[in-house]
Structure 1
């Protein structure tokens, strides 16, 4: 066996110690032998972990002596440290199963320092320095000659390493990148070479070398990506040709067109690509590919694309990045009249990162199972058959990458009467446990875990047990550790909280109409049931103090990260489709607000505009943005007709209402390019301006599609048909509440657009929703969604590995002022990516690059409120608190309610751990610097693969 699985991370961000090496099972000790150690001479020996124990023991004995008591203590300490070091070394070896002797010694140093054994660590450092001087003296004071290596080819033969070719490859990777030194990459690469290295390992070694330099110069991320491209080109071109093939970046201008045709043929033969794609004019599409766009990736984005998106056959990839984008574009243009013309238009927006489709669309467009939709919302009925059908539907929807929101409110509560058996219900919780386990079982082909969020209204009798679902204590049979949860909160409850009044809990089998009511109608019915309960006429009812329940909701949110706080009334009062039913929940990431019913599963199709690609120093480029939104909306509308539906209720709903969710990403990057700090009124105004522009062009594009293709079937009777646009529906909410403190200003020609909507109609019932965009923003190399900067320097962990992330814009500004050096990099690590405590950084840069926990969370809500007035659905809004308190949480969520927000998402506080203070060089995060985490280190949701935010929708 081989130690290649990733151990659980401990509280301090360090992999917890394994059992002592000698106490390991024989199979585990045998697995360690599979690793090799590269000596300084370039020779290779088997990895012997016992030598680590010997070295540690000698170091401790040299410092602490050899008394009996000391020996016992040293033995125990060495066992723990050695196990920790081996675990860190074998998490993700730098190349295949090869470990460099210097890396091993670095890990020993780090383990000693982290364990607080500073005197021993100092002795070990001095010992290493002394040995280095001895080696140099033996060589007569001259640097050792570089060892010569042989490369083992696929047929087993050995050939000399082509040093000139390696140097040329590194020079090509560094070309045009400021601050990137190919010699530095070469020096680091040589440390990971050994005699007899395989061709595959040889292509990986420069990548691993370049990525260790990213923390000192962000452009090494681009260099790493170019080296990864070389490795990918070798794999893809060789596979397509059936013989070893290589090509440089310059060669791809001529190679891409034939590679596209070969990749489509390969995919069809493998059963992965829709045969209809072969009917396109592939010569025309191949000629439209721009090979230079391969160079726009950074390392995190390209590695993510390579690992999880490009298609493969039997583990061998047959798509290059531009083939991938063209295949997605072709898959979305299948039903266009001018298929080639539209495919090229779609390709242009995708490959330039101006617009990006959601993850399910990228996964499946143009394949044989084109499930392209992102989010599904269901209502679970109150009968056994319906409950288990809903669980089955979850599995079917999750199978092809859908994120799911379940409305569980109709299910009767604990103790409610069951007429069929004359027994008592066990409530909703046991069924939630089943849904939780189903989400784990269906992992979307290993691409990511099944992802589900359960919603429950605040008046449900089981609400208090619902709040406890994510706790790590209590009866585990009534816990759902992998499923997200969210409160669906009526306005009336918030009014009772404000008034410090009572709140009554009911079982929905006795109050069935409450589920479908909102606003004044809900209040009237609810108060009637309260009066009935006061007369003793309700079988199940319990009265609590509203403020106490609210505090418990916030306490659980603080302790476990769940349930999220979402608001029922604004979601329904402002819904364009309220003539066709009720919004009973949101989705997995709280940005979708669509109707559900017994015969309809709501479906939404997502994509995001890269706002950073549409701004310059002078602000927003409205013309460019309008073009991107117009094409993006067409792509999203096409999803509805092309889509593969796994259950009929989803197909019925999607074709009847045709909702889409156009969102945005790169908001923080856009602000930085305009030199606007996130925490200021100018940023709030830009949130308003940019969302108004997106809304205007999205609605206009839907009108254009309606003129070309027809209105959506359920248009008549909608708010759209009455000339009530999202900005107008703000007044409906204000009327229902009696007051609403929100800005209503506009700048564009809304009367003219309103007239077009009412006369021509809309192609889509819903047009906008801001999703988290965790993965697609990585691909595009921009900040996620509407998030502020998390940290300016940190290590990000996902399924593709650990990645050093440095804010390149900040480094550019620091360089311009002569402030970027090793000391600054070290300071950034020490202060967890924050500039606030670094005295020599000017205040204007501190404000411009303030991190999420340095920003007053009220700025996030104010900006979100300005966006919400334009959006017909909602937005995934994370809130950050550096020092959470009950008072702060209460004020924050009451402000969200008062500003008319429909939903909120995660509450995040500073993690208990922080970025590894030692150098990342040589480990690139394998020591597990911590990415953002929910409050109190709550476990990540089932859909999270890329911290800090959910990616199920994007």
Structure 2
């Protein structure tokens, strides 16, 4: 029999969960009970009856027949106990006397099993009381801790508030308990601890538990909120102020109004924000959404996004989101209505603006754009103006892509000095150092990517820029590099033909040509070279150059491989210019010229939040995309432009880049393996939905606000949508691109609408890496497969344990989540593939990036690319690369119609510390995944280093 079945309250015989005294009507008049703590209360016979009933039911069972017998026996035993108590004429009884009489009554009635259990239970409770008393005595004898306030004044530690705070933090979270957090917190406190240290203590305590239960990531975030609330409210109020989550529910509104006024006063917020109806916006705030954060997301916002004065944060999360929304609604007719609409979208994590927008919206210098593309001219004035432009654009958090193809190559003649050029590399070194010097206000490092076409005479030196050997004056260790590859080169590789390198001062028109026109002009220059009519050129075997390109890509992670022709031939704007490069993260494909610096404004749909009942919620996608497109279009008008060429381009073409994140989470929710036809189909379905509604939303905006100025002559104006532009590449290549052409939605209707209403934006879609904003939303970045199911993620805010909550949920459901599983995940680098007790279906669903055949990534990307008018940041993961694999992968990417690729993520080994997080100083190091020396690879791939999986410098797009 379970002792819990006969449990009584410490007061005597009342079982846990019995009715409160005021609810009972059976108190015996005139009789009293003395409790163990000395208090007196009315005697209640029903307490004996209920306790005895539970005891009998535990022994006899709960059948109807047993219940009848129990009822009779309860009447008998409780009656005997009451008679024994009153026989002496006493009217006040001690609780121990009552229990003694119940025990004797049970024995007299020969209910020995029940009596024995009752005796054992009483002893168990007595022992527990003794232990509690000893604990209380120990606590009373322990010196009371003092906390030093911000002014240095000591005050007693408020243990009750600390316990309340931790209770709030674990509320509603399965698997999370206050007891271990409070115990670990108290263990680390000391007399004289500062208020800041006290605020950090429970956060650190909760962080150590994340690897055991992912929900402690939410607990840690909620505890960090307390620190942030104290910091912000104290700053605004001008005196020490704290608030629990329950208290801030009513305190957010008055704080918000004061926050806006103080921000304007400090010249950190645009004074225009004071013209909003602040009380109305304050009433729209949703304090409960503070609880949506996981620790990594909130810590990132705390460190780098929230407004601060003298390093004191005074911006709470919902004020932050409303500030961004207000900044984007400045030009709206219904400012408040649109600000609330925008706020609801981003604060729910259904959509998130890019990092520059989050940094700067609503501020006096609202540079909100993510990406800038420039083309560098072939003269000193132009080169150094471009480098200066880089500095100005990077200052306010823009990521840069520079086209350097026009700059003449090594050995080319310089007419002005009658000398020879040192080529493009020395200037790239200057651009590299400029990016490091301009670190975007300490919020993140400056970042730039240099592009060079594959026919440039300096291309081989360009391949070597990221090497750690050789002349350091001809190395750019911090600049990203990308190869702008014409289709003709890939065709020469396919046929094992020759390839000729030229200096652009002798072949200036190649820079602006593509497709068949490029092929014809290139052949013309090759003939000139054969005749000796070219001064600087070199002929190489195309496959040799291709192999060297792939070798350096493996060794250094650069240069990335991007394809010039599909970027141009499918560009809606080919009637008015040329795409000379992509951007820092390879997803933007916009025209550039000496007079136009291309600008793109980014934001991403959180796919994980749009899955309902195991399927994509198309109605919700439509609502999200419609609002998101309006926000992105607003960026163009409220934006702060640091150089006129950027404003000229952005106002003329109005491009935006709507992307997505949380693709892997969506697959987990739908229980689809990444490496499956179903996942590829979902990539197709989800991108088609985003594409359809993004184009439709832009057409709606065109009808409301007018078409973008360069609309006439564009592919849009001809009724050619992204899905239709694939045929242009077919024609240029002379064969059909191996790209799926199936559709689900009514595209004929949309074509007609675009032709009649026009478009507000020249470009509408681009899938950025979302390296930071996905952290804010707590989902997997962009279209990435899961890196590992348990690992430590590093960024500029520190190291954070990341556990796949979807996997943990499934393992719990099958009774498999325990300390052994945590240990196994560490040992196998976050992979479940080698853990025998994990079922095969879960191994497929939760296969990690390096366990997935890379061709699945390319197939899914091809399905998305058919819908996108720009491109996507596509990382390629390959566990054990060799020449044959890389050759086939990148040829496949070209054949399937991809426009660009991003990092090659190679891994031959990882280092895992086989340790627990407990007892650390907060530097979470259970799993360390970093760039490591790779083993020798087959064929032409040389020994090198794998590209770091979590590079804090790769955040400039988002």
Counterpart residue number, 1:884: 881
Distance in 2 of aligned mates of 1:778 and 1:302: 9
Alignment partner, residue 928 of structure 2: 930
The CA distance in 1 between the partners of 2:900 and 2:932, in whole Å, is 17
Distance in 1, matches of 2:613 and 2:798, equals 35
Say yes or no: does 1:770 pair with 2:757.
no
- The C-alpha deviation readout for 1:544-572, integer Å capped at 9, x for no partner, is 00000000000000000000000000000
State whether residues 826 and 926 of structure 2, in contact with CA within 8 Å, keep that contact through their aligned partners in structure 1.
no
Secondary structure of 2:429 counterpart:
helix
Report which structure shows greater RCO (CA 8 Å, sep ≥6): 1
Q: Are 1:518 and 1:572, in contact at CA under 8 Å, matched by a contact in 2?
A: yes
Q: Are 1:501 and 2:497 matched, yes or no?
A: yes
Q: Does 1:951 align with 2:955?
A: yes
Structural RMSD (CA) = 1.6
* SS of 2:575 mapped into structure 1: helix
- Structure 1 segment 529-544 matched on structure 2, within 5 A: 529-544=525-540
C-alpha deviations, 1:3-29, integer Å up to 9, x for none? xxxxxxxxxxxxxxxxxxxxxxxxxxx
Find out whether 1:451 has 2:455 as its counterpart: no
Match status 1:358 vs 2:351:
no
Q: In the alignment, is the contact (CA less than 8 A) between 1:772 and 1:949 conserved in 2?
A: no
Query: Are residues 1:782 and 2:779 paired?
Result: yes
Partner of 1:546: 542
Report SS of the residue matched to 1:897. helix
Hey, what's the Cα distance between the residues in 2 that align with 1:835 and 1:387?
52
Corresponding residue SS for 2:173: coil
Q: Does the aligned pair in 1 maintain the 2:790–2:927 contact within 8 Å?
A: no
Q: How does 1:328-407 map to 2 (within 5 A)?
A: 328-407=324-403
Specify the alignment match of 2:458 in structure 1.
462
Residue of structure 2 in register with 1:838 after alignment: 835
**Whole-Å separation in 2 of the counterparts to 1:182 and 1:926:** 21
Quote the Cα distance in structure 1 between the aligned partners of 2:510 and 2:434. 29
Which of 248, 254, 278 does residue 252 from structure 1 map onto? 248
Residue 273 of structure 1 is matched in structure 2 by: 269
User: Hey, what does 2:790 align to over in structure 1?
Assistant: 793
Residue 798 of structure 1 deviates from its aligned partner by: 1.5
Work out whether residues 908 and 935 of structure 1, in 8 Å CA contact, stay in contact via their aligned partners in 2: no
1:612 to 586, 603, 608: 608
Summarize the alignment of residues 159-308 of structure 1 with structure 2, pairs less than 5 Å apart.
159-308=155-304
Q: Which residue of 2 aligns with 1:71?
A: none
From the superposition, tell whether residues 706 and 932 of structure 1 become closer, same or farther in structure 2 (CA, over 3 Å). Answer: farther
Q: What per-residue deviation string (whole Å, max 9, x for no partner) do you get for residues 456-477 of structure 1? A: 0000000000000000000000
Which residue number in structure 2 is paired with residue 900 of structure 1? 897
Q: Compute the displacement of 1:736 (Å).
A: 1.1
Shift of residue 926 of structure 1?
A: 4.4
For 1:119, the equivalent position in structure 2 comes to none
Note the C-alpha offset of 1:928: 7.4
Match of 1:656 in 2: 652
Distance apart, 1:911 and its partner CA: 5.8
**CA separation in 1, counterparts of 2:322 and 2:953?**
28
SS of structure 2 residue aligned to 1:566: strand
1:169 CA displacement = 1.2
**Conserved 8 A contact 1:607-1:661:** yes
Preserved CA contact (<8 Å) 2:554 2:946: no
Give SS of 1:727's match: coil
CA displacement at 1:313 relative to structure 2: 1.0
Query: Among 854, 857, 862, which residue is 1:860 paired with?
Result: 857
Q: Is the 8 A contact 1:519 1:573 kept in 2?
A: yes
Query: Does 1:693 find its partner at 2:689?
Result: yes
| Greater CA drift, 559-568 or 926-935 | 926-935
2:907 to 895, 910, 919: 910
1:224 is paired with a residue whose SS is helix
Q: Is the 1:671–1:677 Cα contact (8 Å) retained in structure 2? A: yes
8 Å Cα contact 1:486/1:565 also seen in 2: yes
C-alpha distance in structure 1 between counterparts of 2:933 and 2:380, whole Å: 36
Please give the alpha-carbon distance, in whole angstroms, between the structure 1 residues aligned to 2:322 and 2:379.
Answer: 46
Aligned partners of 1:840 and 1:366: how far apart in 2?
53
**Contact 2:915 / 2:926 at 8 angstroms: preserved in 1?**
no
The CA deviation string for residues 344-370 of structure 1, in whole angstroms up to 9 with x for no partner, is: 000000000000000000000000100
2:880–2:908 Cα contact (<8 Å) kept: no
Task: Name 2:517's counterpart in structure 1.
Answer: 521
Contact 1:266 1:318 in 2 (8 A): no
Q: Kindly report which structure 2 residues correspond to 1:719-738, keeping only aligned pairs within 5 A, or say none.
A: 719-738=715-734
Q: Which residue of 2 aligns with 1:61?
A: none
Within-5 A mapping of 1:740-751: 740-751=737-748
- Greater shift, 153-162 or 806-815, is seen at 153-162
Match of 1:629, SS? helix
Could you tell me how far 1:949 is from its partner in structure 2? 8.2
CA distance in 2, matches of 1:750, 1:935: 49
Following the alignment from structure 2 to structure 1, what is the Cα–Cα distance between the partners of residues 549 and 834?
A: 34
Taking a change above 3 Å as real, the CA distance of residues 909 and 879 of structure 1, as seen in their structure-2 partners, is same
Distance change in 2, residues 1:408/1:935 (3 Å)? farther
Q: Would the aligned equivalents of 2:603 and 2:628 in 1 still touch at CA under 8 Å?
A: yes
- Report the Cα offset of residue 921 of structure 1: 2.2
Structure 2 Cα separation of the partners of residues 949 and 608 of structure 1: 20
User: Match of 1:64?
Assistant: none
Q: Is this contact kept in 2: 1:561–1:935, CA < 8 A? A: no
CA gap of 1:684–1:411, structure 2 versus 1, over 3 A, is same
Contact 2:910 2:932 in 1 (8 A): no
Secondary structure at 1:361 match in 2: helix
The answer as to whether partners of 2:395 and 2:438 remain within 8 angstroms in 1 is yes
| Superposition deviation, residue 155 in structure 1 | 3.1
- 2:82 corresponds to: none
Given that 1:797 and 1:803 are in contact with CA atoms closer than 8 Å, whether structure 2 keeps it comes out as yes
1:847 aligned onto 2:844: yes
CA distance in structure 2 between the aligned counterparts of 1:949 and 1:219, rounded to whole angstroms: 28
Q: How far off its partner does 1:618 sit?
A: 3.0
Counterparts of 2:144 and 2:509 in 1: how far apart (Å)?
80
For 2:639, the equivalent position in structure 1 comes to 643
Cα–Cα, structure 1 residues 949 and 912, in superposed 2: closer, same or farther, change >3 Å? Answer: farther
Q: Which residue of 1 aligns with 2:825?
A: 828
Equivalent residue number for residue 870 of structure 2: 873
Match of 2:434 among 435, 438, 445: 438
Give the whole-Å Cα distance in 2 for the aligned partners of 1:381 and 1:727: 34
CA contact (8 A) 1:804 1:925 kept: no
Unpaired stretches in structure 2, ≥5 consecutive residues: 1-133, 935-943
Looking at structure 2, the residues matched to 445 and 390 of structure 1 have their Cα atoms a distance apart, in angstroms, of 21
Deviation string 1:336-392 (CA, Å, 9 cap, x unpaired) is 000000000000000000000000000000001000000000000000000000000
- Which of 1 and 2 has greater Rg? 2
Q: TM-score, normalised by structure 2?
A: 0.83
Task: Confirm or deny: 8 A CA contact 1:469 1:478 kept in the other structure.
Answer: yes
> Does 693-702 or 794-803 show the bigger shift?
794-803
Deviation at 1:253, TM superposition (A): 2.0
Structure 1 residue runs of 5 or longer lacking an equivalent are 1-138
- For structure 1, which segment, 156-165 or 712-721, has the greater mean C-alpha deviation from structure 2 after superposition? 156-165
Normalized against structure 1, the TM-score is what?
A: 0.84
Q: Does 1:802 align with 2:802?
A: no
* Residue correspondences, number: 812
Aligned equivalents of 2:306, 2:651: Cα separation in 1: 29
Q: Deviation digits for residues 197-228 of structure 1, max 9, x if unmatched?
A: 01111111100111011001111111111100
Q: Secondary structure at the match of 2:411?
A: strand
For residue 599 of structure 2, the aligned residue among 600, 603, 627 is 603
Please state how far the C-alpha of 1:255 moved relative to its aligned partner.
0.9
